[in-house]
Amino acid sequence: MASLLEGQARPIRLADIAKAAGVSHGTASNVFSRPEIVRAEVRERVKAVAEQMGYAGPDPKGRLLRAGKVNAIGVATTEPLSYFFDDPFARVMMAGISQACDATGAGIALVSAANQEKLAWNIQSALVDGFVLFCIEGGSRLVDLTRERRLPFVALELGFQDETVSAIGVDNVAGARLAARHLAELGHRRFAVLSLGFADNPTGFATPEAVRSAVYTGTRDRLAGYFEELSRFGIDTAKIPVYETENEDKSTRAGLEAIFAKEEPPTAILAMSDRMALIAIDWLKARGLNVPGDVSIVGFDGVPDGALSTPPLTTIAQPIIEIGRRAARMILDHDGAVRRETMGVEFIVRGSTGPAPRG
Amino acid sequence: MASLLEGQARPIRLADIAKAAGVSHGTASNVFSRPEIVRAEVRERVKAVAEQMGYAGPDPKGRLLRAGKVNAIGVATTEPLSYFFDDPFARVMMAGISQACDATGAGIALVSAANQEKLAWNIQSALVDGFVLFCIEGGSRLVDLTRERRLPFVALELGFQDETVSAIGVDNVAGARLAARHLAELGHRRFAVLSLGFADNPTGFATPEAVRSAVYTGTRDRLAGYFEELSRFGIDTAKIPVYETENEDKSTRAGLEAIFAKEEPPTAILAMSDRMALIAIDWLKARGLNVPGDVSIVGFDGVPDGALSTPPLTTIAQPIIEIGRRAARMILDHDGAVRRETMGVEFIVRGSTGPAPRG
DNA sequence: GCTAAAATTTGAATCGATCCAACAAAAATG
DNA sequence: CATTTTTGTTGGATCGATTCAAATTTTAGC
């Protein structure tokens, strides 16, 4: 029975209701936000008028300005929006963030933009109380942009030297060492590393300088972990090819091509993400190489898909869900402090690793 | 070089900058939103003052109220938030929605709540320009709640008789007929249906009354399609067990238990979603039954996971991405009209269907 | 040097609500 | 009946910006 006269007229405001019902706007407001303090008779009258005029209820836009708090957190990345629904790691992380938000009734706003100007604008204009940043590629710019907004934010991955930004990550060195030791103990001596980026623009084979001047210390730490452990087995880490990918299909396959084009191809691959590891398994199988018979692979992350591949993936599992939960909570109950948390990792041995082939 | 005196003081407003720089609000505002119309000298001075005072830039909360438009769409469901990242169908749909939003720079706000009160509140207070509704369980309530908000919205799945709500769905009858004909032509004569809900509370085996009084006409149409086609092959559809599940693991497995406990178990299963079909494949394999040797299965949806299962899933593919894109665009360029679109489906034969076993 | 045109700047109005001190009316108390 | 207490209502102030007509300053033209 809504008004039939709606037409293109401008929407009805609370003030219109107040006038029509013959009460002050204060009272009209109370009818909706604190109904218990207004006399029943008045309350019903106002509600009836609202109903009759087709009032949609107090507009959150107005309420917001007064209240100051949006009750939503922004999750931002430099990847396109679909990244949140495609990438296995992101999906698990989002599940964790969702849990924390569900628990407190907070909303989630997804923020992204491939190009820089739009990203800046989207970050500046997002209606949120704080941000969780997925620091993949272009992470440092993302942090800079977000900092300007002067809202609480937390970076996923301890990707930055910068001790002034809150961050949650894992013990990359320890995780990497576990992976490397496992392979070395299985007798492997020829390695290759599928690496994440050391800086914002992955370049293929990483030079020692690139590693030294890494922007992403997470990547650097994983590599350091691999190398430290392999050195202890007497392996010359200087000879190990380290290929920087963009953690997606194309560049990972390019990396594999490059690595296996070398004269002494590796018998073991250390991948810094499960995504790359799974792509590698696929690539190797298509090439007729047996995993783990010819080549062993260890991933990093512990995404669910890793358990379902053939063979299932040996990996260093991060507590992704828990990281997501904590990140969201850091924003939700923000207290102004900078927090940097390092979580432990878990080593999961599955089927993608085996003894080094003879000869 | 931000102010060291920030402390707990209330944030700096544009008006503070204006005063400090000795210009009017209007000019200060222009410096940020239309810098080209203010004299270079003034612009730089104001910017310098802003920088020096640690101004975070115009607060979107204030801008929003004036502008009226949020530039974001809400995607709502009655499932928990993690549904968006877990469910394969939802994920593909979100990818489509993301594409449309990315293209116009719009944001996405995820809205959900398991319990009714919170749902109502979340819908009422979401800062969005319109909604895309995932009408799974409790879809009719979701529509009612959203309608009260008087913002444009579109229901996914033509789940409602109600011709006054915009909706996008597929030709369920045609799709279902394709699936049924395929199986009948392969010689199958004993069927079972893994069904979606006909109303808000799935109940196990569906009675003809439940079907007749279906709230979700999409479910009803699929069933009608199956039955129409099977009848043409002389099959007595009255004897076909139709089990309503909640489209997740537990109830689907319960349905399979119930179906295969009958004296004449089916040789073919018509599943109304790929998710159920994939669960069924898993369940059957665990039971030692061969797919498609002993039992054939046809899904519905065409999610990517279906191509990767063993055996890969024969299914009726919806143009999910395209549906998502259109839904988002309907909100983004809303013109006040009610639109109801029906998309075609595509039949994809893969490995989960084969000739009926002999005997 | 004067006037018309163009470029800037101003300040009040507006967006849509909530909050709160002050006031009015009704009920309870002495 | 006068006074205090309780309960409800009012209207102005506020949240933080943008907009636009009018006022002012510059620049251009002669």
Q: Are B95 and A86 within 8 A, CB to CB?
A: yes
Q: For residues B274 and B295, what is the distance between their CA atoms, to the nearest angstrom? A: 16
Confidence label for A6 from pLDDT (cuts 50, 70 and 90) = very low
pLDDT band at A157 (very low <50, low <70, confident <90, very high): confident
CA distance A141 to B290: 53
Q: Please, which contacts does B47-51 make with residues 24 or more away whose CB atoms are closer than 8 Å?
A: B49/B17, B49/B20, B49/B21, B50/B17, B50/B21, B51/B1
User: Does the beta carbon of A70 lie under 8 angstroms from any beta carbon of chain B?
Assistant: yes
Q: Which residues of B touch A33 (CB under 8 A)?
A: none
**Inter-residue contact B155 to B325 (CB < 8 Å):** no
Q: What is the mean pLDDT of residues A161-165?
A: 82
| Nearest chain B residue (CA) to A76 | B107
Task: State residue A159's pLDDT score.
Answer: 61
**CA–C1' gap, B28 and D23, in angstroms:** 18
Across the interface, whether the CB atoms of A84 and B98 are under 8 A apart is answered yes
3-state secondary structure of A84: helix
Nearest in space to A1 (alpha carbons), one of A50, A57, A58, A59? A50
Q: What is the pLDDT of residue B350?
A: 97
pLDDT band per the 50, 70, 90 thresholds, residue A44? very high
Helix, strand and coil percent figures for chain A, each rounded to 5: 45, 15, 40
Q: Which residue on chain A is closest to B61 by alpha carbon?
A: A65
Q: What is the pLDDT of residue B2?
A: 40
User: Min CA distance, A65 vs chain B (Å)?
Assistant: 6
Q: Give strand letter and number of the nucleotide nearest A61 (CA to C1').
A: C16
Task: Find and give the residue nearest to C9, measured CA to C1'.
Answer: B27
pLDDT at B158 over 90: no
Q: Which amino acid is at A290?
A: N
Residue B258's pLDDT band (cuts 50, 70, 90): very high
- The answer, yes or no, to whether residue A1 has pLDDT greater than 60, is no
Indicate if the pLDDT at residue A357 is higher than 60: yes
Q: Which nucleotide is nearest to B63 (CA to C1')?
A: D17
Chain segment B188-210, per-residue pLDDT in tens: 999 999 999 988 788 899 999 99
User: pLDDT confidence of B160, banded at 50, 70, 90?
Assistant: low
Bases along strand C below 7 A from a protein CB:
7-21
Residue A42 CB in 7 A reach of strand D: yes
Query: For residue A231, what are the contacts with CB-CB under 8 A and spacing of at least 6?
Result: A237
- Indicate if CB(B124) is under 7 A from strand C: no
Would you state the pLDDT for residue A158?
Answer: 61
A144 in contact with B at a CB cutoff of 8 Å?
Answer: no
Give the pLDDT of residue B7: 43
Q: Which of A60, A63, A108 sits opposite B81 (nearest CB)?
A: A108
A330 vs chain B: nearest CA distance in angstroms? 19
pLDDT for residue B215: 82
Cβ–Cβ of B113/A105 closer than 8 Å?
yes
CA–CA dist B10, B32 (Å, integer): 21
Confidence of residue A137 (pLDDT cuts 50, 70, 90): low
Burial A36-63 (b: 16+ CB within 10 A, else e): eebeeebbeebbebbeebebeebbbbeb
Query: pLDDT tens across B245-255, in order?
Result: 999 999 999 99
- Mean pLDDT for A157-173 is 84
Sign of CA dihedral A242, A244, A248, A251: negative
User: CA at B59, C1' at D27: how many angstroms apart?
Assistant: 36
Query: In terms of Cα–Cα distance, which of A189, A217, A194 is closest to A204?
Result: A194
Beta bridge partners of A297: A269
Cβ of B15 near strand C (under 7 Å)? The reply is no
Helix (H) or strand (E) holding A148: helix A139-149
- Strand C and B24 CB separated by under 7 Å: yes
pLDDT tens-digit map of B78-129: 889 999 998 899 999 999 999 999 999 899 999 987 788 888 999 999 999 9
* d(C-alpha A185, C-alpha A355), whole Å: 8
Alpha-helical segments (H) within chain B:
14-21, 25-33, 40-53, 60-67, 83-86, 88-104, 116-125, 139-149, 172-185, 208-212, 217-232, 249-260, 274-286, 305-308, 320-332
Phi and psi based region of residue A262 (left: phi greater than 0; alpha: psi -120 to 50; beta: remaining): beta
Exposure of B19 by Cβ count < 10 A (0-12 exposed, 13-18 middle, 19+ buried)?
Answer: middle
**Interval A30-41 mean pLDDT:** 94
| Angle between helices A14-21 and A25-33 in degrees, nearest 10 | 110
Tell me which chain B residue has its CA closest to the CA of residue A79: B102
Query: Poorest-confidence range of A286-300, B150-164, B202-216, B293-307?
Result: B150-164
What is the percentage of chain A residues whose pLDDT exceeds 70?
96
| Amino acid, single-letter form, for residue A316 | I
> Within window 34-73 on A, which residues have Cβ closer than 7 Å to strand C?
34, 57-59, 61-63, 65-67
Does the structure show a pLDDT above 60 at A140?
yes
- Please name the residue that has the structure tokens 């709540």: B113
Q: Does A1 touch chain B (CB under 8 A)?
A: no
Q: What is the pLDDT of residues B24-54, one digit of tens each?
A: 999 999 999 999 999 999 999 999 999 999 9
Which tens digits make up the pLDDT trace of A182-226? Answer: 999 999 999 999 999 988 788 899 999 999 988 888 899 999 999
How long is the CA A9 to C1' D23 vector, in angstroms? 34
Nearest CA in chain B to A10: B68
Q: What is the pLDDT of residues A307-331, one digit of tens each?
A: 989 999 999 999 999 999 999 999 9
What is the arithmetic mean of pLDDT over A331-352? 94
